[in-house]
């Protein structure tokens, strides 16, 4: 193995976010790539006259130079801005490695009077990526695992900065301890409201949300659960008269479970329907899906909900949607006085980093989650610890 690093083997990667930059490094050098520095960079456009979008810059090299990390120093190549002293690279790799112990890092750093350590870490500390956190290899591994789980860079940094003060001494070098702390912190950030508990007869609960998120199927699951398992008297109302198939689907469920169901097409019909079902324990209301740009239709829906004097309004969103779509929907439907969030289609979701982004912006408690089409099985009361593990990429 050559002891020299050529100028073609040290490469700079720039991307719009940390996840994409890490992917580029791994595509180029594999999973054992040596990261030399990580820095946020500013870009310009239109001949430098306008500000561009901020980017993340990673300087990396192949991991093959790290095999003899603490042997005799290898000769340095001729000075050039693209060359890296192999011994310096060995130390840098130790900082970011998931296997090298911190004692080895400190020993190597002492040989350089601590300056290499400072050089490697300045991308985190001088640019305030992690504030005042003293980064260790285990913390960095935990951070990249959050990025790999599709958690935004902002939230990943916040989580790392939140758990670090809770850890002491060698705990900061123990990846498993850090992961458990991250799960606990994420659990704390996921509010839950618990199951629906009717507090009076004629208790009205409406499900609202965009088209195609599974509101009708979720209504059927709730109806079956409260009727067959909780032994409550349940009635159904649908305002989704725009889609005949949705009305017939809910009517089929109602016939199977033997529940009364009414379809309404106007505000007076809504008032009449609620009055007819008022003696029941629970009235579940299905509504037509609305797009995030259909403000007029959502205001019309509010008129129906006000006429029904609803007790709870559960925003229903798909767990497979992008974070931006979830946030936009939460903003659009917020005029309906939302009380809880139902997250559907978890079986189709790649991860739940999108949920953490939504909850950071709007702390709406979760009531239920669903993970399949089977009625009434594939739904559960939301559990914060379970959702936290899913968000961090933990396997059941």
Is residue 390's pLDDT more than 80? yes
Percentage of the chain lying above the pLDDT 90 cut: 31
Percentage of the chain lying above the pLDDT 70 cut: 70
Query: What average pLDDT does range 83-87 have in this prediction?
Result: 41
Q: What does the pLDDT read at residue 83?
A: 37
Among 53-62, 104-113, 233-242, 281-290, which range has the highest average pLDDT?
Answer: 281-290
Give the SS3 label for residue 38: strand
Closest C-alpha among 263, 281, 280, 282 to residue 272: 263
What's the mean per-residue pLDDT of the chain? 76
Among 2-16, 83-97, 289-303, 338-352, which range has the highest average pLDDT?
Answer: 338-352
Phi, psi (5° rounding) for residue 283? -115, 115
Is residue 38's pLDDT more than 90? no
Using the 8-state DSSP alphabet, how is residue 192 labeled?
A: B
What is the C-alpha to C-alpha distance for residues 340 and 194, in angstroms, rounded to an integer?
A: 9
Q: What does the pLDDT read at residue 32?
A: 64
Q: What does the pLDDT read at residue 131?
A: 54
Query: What average pLDDT does range 34-63 have in this prediction?
Result: 67
What is the C-alpha to C-alpha distance for residues 167 and 177, in angstroms, rounded to an integer?
A: 9
Among 43-47, 65-69, 100-104, 306-310, the least confident range:
65-69
> What's the start-to-end Cα distance of the chain, in Å?
43
Alpha carbon 376 to its chain centroid, in Å, reads 27
Query: Would you place residue 1 in the very low, low, confident or very high pLDDT band (cuts 50, 70, 90)?
Result: very low
CATH fold of 203-391: Rossmann fold (3.40.50)
Closest C-alpha among 131, 81, 339 to residue 121: 131
Is residue 365's pLDDT more than 90? yes
Among 250-254, 315-319, 380-384, the least confident range:
250-254
291-316: pLDDT as tens digits: 656 677 888 899 999 999 999 999 99
176-190: pLDDT as tens digits: 999 999 999 999 999
Residues of the chain with CATH 3.40.50.300: 203-391
């Amino acid at each position: 193995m050559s002891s020299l690093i050529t100028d073609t083997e040290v490469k700079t990667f720039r991307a719009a976010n940390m996840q994409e930059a890490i992917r580029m490094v791994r595509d180029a050098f594999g999973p054992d790539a040596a990261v030399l520095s990580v820095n946020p960079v500013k870009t310009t456009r239109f001949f430098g006259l306008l500000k561009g979008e901020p980017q993340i810059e990673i300087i990396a090299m192949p991991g093959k130079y790290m095999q003899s990390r603490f042997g005799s120093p290898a000769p340095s190549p001729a000075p050039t801005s693209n060359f890296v002293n192999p011994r310096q690279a060995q130390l840098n790799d130790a900082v970011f490695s998931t296997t090298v112990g911190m004692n080895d890092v400190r020993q190597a750093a002492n040989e350089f009077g601590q300056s290499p350590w400072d050089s490697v870490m300045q991308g985190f500390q001088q640019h305030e990526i992690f504030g005042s956190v003293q980064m260790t290899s285990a913390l960095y591994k935990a951070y990249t695992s959050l990025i790999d789980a599709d958690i935004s860079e902002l939230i990943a940094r916040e989580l790392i900065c939140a758990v670090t003060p809770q850890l002491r001494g060698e705990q900061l070098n123990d990846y498993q301890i850090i992961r458990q702390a991250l799960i606990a912190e994420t659990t704390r950030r996921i509010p839950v409201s618990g199951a629906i508990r009717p507090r009076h007869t004629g208790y009205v609960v409406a499900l609202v949300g965009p088209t195609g998120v599974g509101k009708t199927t979720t209504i059927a699951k709730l109806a079956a659960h409260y009727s067959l398992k909780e032994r409550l008297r349940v009635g159904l109302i649908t305002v989704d008269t725009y889609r005949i198939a949705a009305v017939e689907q809910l009517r089929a469920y109602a016939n199977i479970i033997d529940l009364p169901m009414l379809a309404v097409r106007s505000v007076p019909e809504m008032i009449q329907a609620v009055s007819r079902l008022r003696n029941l324990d629970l009235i579940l209301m299905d509504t037509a899906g609305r797009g995030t740009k259909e403000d007029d239709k959502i205001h019309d829906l509010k008129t129906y909900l006000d006429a029904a004097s609803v007790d709870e309004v559960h925003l229903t969103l798909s767990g497979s949607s992008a974070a931006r779509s979830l946030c936009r929907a939460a903003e659009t439907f917020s005029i309906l006085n939302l009380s809880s969030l139902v997250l559907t289609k978890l079986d189709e979701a790649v991860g739940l980093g999108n949920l953490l982004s939504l909850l950071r912006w709007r702390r709406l408690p979760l009531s239920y989650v669903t993970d399949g089409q089977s009625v009434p099985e594939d739904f559960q009361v939301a559990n914060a610890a379970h959702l936290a593990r899913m968000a961090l990429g933990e396997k059941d």
